Amino acid sequence: ESGEEEKAILTDWVCDCYMEERIDVLVENDQEALEDIGRLENWIKIAIWCIQEHPEMRPTMRIVMQV
């Protein structure tokens, strides 16, 4: 598959990058994001958590605010 085909489903691509510890490719030209990679990782983790197919797997806003 070409790189573009792999990125066709954004959520899958983001999850793959997160699992492979390659979140830098998600923001490859954003120096500010790259300088605070820990915060970026938290945001991505929360985003993935919030889009779970089953609502009971999603965090409450209280939990999100604590992360």
| pLDDT tens-digit readout, 22-52 | 999 999 889 999 999 999 999 999 999 999 8
- Domain spans in the chain, listed from the N-terminal domain onward: 3-66
SS3 state of residue 61: helix
Two structure tokens written together for 4: 């573009």
Percent of the chain at pLDDT exceeding 70: 90
CA quadruple 33, 39, 40, 45: dihedral, nearest 10: 180
Helix (H) or strand (E) holding 48, with range, is helix 37-50
Q: Please state, in angstroms and rounded to a whole number, the distance separating the CA atoms of residues 50 and 9.
A: 17
pTM: 0.74
Structure letter (DSSP) for residue 47? H
